[in-house]
Amino acid sequence: MSSEDQDAQEDELLALASIFPKDEFKRSETSQGGELQACLDLPPNFEILIKGDAAANFFNEHFHNSISFLPPIVLHFELPSDYPSASPPNFTLSCKWLSPKQLARLCQHLDKLWVENAGCVVLFAWMRFLKEETLEHLCITSPHEIEVCPIVCQDWSESSDTAECSSAACSLEEVSLDRRAIQDVESVSALIKCILDFNESQQKKCFESKSYMCNICFSEKLGNECTYFKVCHHVYCNICIKDYFEIQIQDGQVHSLNCPEPKCPSTATPAQVKELVGEELFSRYDRLLLQSSLDLMPDVVYCPRPSCQTPVMQEGTIGICPSCHHAFCTLCNMTYHGVSSCKFSAEKLAALRNEYLAADEVEKKFLEKRYGKKALQAAVAEMESQDWLGKNSKSCPRCGTHIQKIDGCNKMTCTGCKQYFCWLCMGSLTRGNPYSHFNDSSTPCFNQLFQGLLAEENEFDLNGEN
């Protein structure tokens, strides 16, 4: 290698390192060469379509309008000892979304640029062409349809001047392509994943480098200090969103981690929540979110033991906890009692009745599936009966039997235990002279034996029977 070629190569590699960031230029540590990545500037609203299987059809349907960045064209090069005075760089050109035929056309143009600049360093001219003129040179417009050639079709023989292909499926046209052109993707699914991941990472990179105004604290901050809601495109600083999310999670409102903009339906992703609130609060968020999801499943109940509370799949009216092995009735949460009727507490009956009556048709079907339609109807009937008794009857002070007063005086006789009692104060009366209670001036019921009766009914003798 002449000293002039050596100096020119070293100067060019140093210039490339100063022009391109580290993620676009990587110099080889073992030889005079390296790798250059050309990321194309796509026009606005650039659409792509992918030929292939079901995965490609799904991508075409859901993602082709959202692509702002495509994976780079990668130029791998090695400088021969007589470059640039006599020989061009040895290179390969690889890309995931350009076909081998398209890459071969780019290789041919790089050769042409070398001829035009013979004797001069050419790598920067190559990169400028790849970044700025690739779309025009290949006549690529939106929507662009990508063809995937399996990587096995690019297993070129290095020992022969004639390129050979190990796949019988390749056409003669494909076999004759430039062996420096490589579409390095194994399948349609791999290509889709690569495109989506690269597009997302580049969008994040662009977002983090710009400044945004937070509409909560009205401070301007860089994107790497902000949270971006993808659906609505609203941006808030991390400090404000963190405080907002922490309050919501502490209050158990895990379904309310929405964009703070009024009436905005956008929600934060679990990854955004975890990054903002930390491990401890995120664990609570994750647990409550799972629990709320399980609560919406009619076949899932919880072990009633306070020390357990494990989710249990119910089979009919029986639930067997996989953790503590407790068998319980899924209707009343008591120990499983077979075909015997459930004994709901008054509070449980009231809660079930209120929840069932307030539910819409969908919610009623959900409750009927969980508790049984007959059990819910019985709960409603029982509570209606209890409500009626509470409004229209009183309980005997001795045995608790419900007594309805239809007519007569305020000295009552229980139909169950035959106890005499006062309808006004519900006090028990003596069996020898029950009316003395109404003649005693020291009681609040003095002269109130016939209170509530019509005036013409107040002619009964105080010693008469009720």
> Quick check: is 409 catalytic?
yes
DSSP-derived secondary structure for 147-206: ----GGGG---TT-SS---S-TTS-HHHHTS-TTEE-----HHHHHHHHHHHHHHHHHHH
Report d(CA 154, CA 181) in Å as an integer: 8
Count of other CB atoms within 10 angstroms of residue 294: 14
Strand 411-413 vs strand 402-403: parallel, antiparallel, or unpaired?
A: unpaired
Contact 33, 78 (CB under 8 A): yes
Contact 416, 396 (CB under 8 A): yes
Active-site residue (options: 153, 396, 409, 414) = 409
Report d(CA 228, CA 286) in Å as an integer: 21
The amino acid occupying position 414 is: C
Report d(CA 270, CA 281) in Å as an integer: 12
The amino acid occupying position 18 is: S
Contacts by 164-173, CB closer than 8 A, 24 or more apart = 173/101
Radius of gyration (C-alpha) of the chain in whole angstroms? 42
Which residues are annotated as catalytic? 409
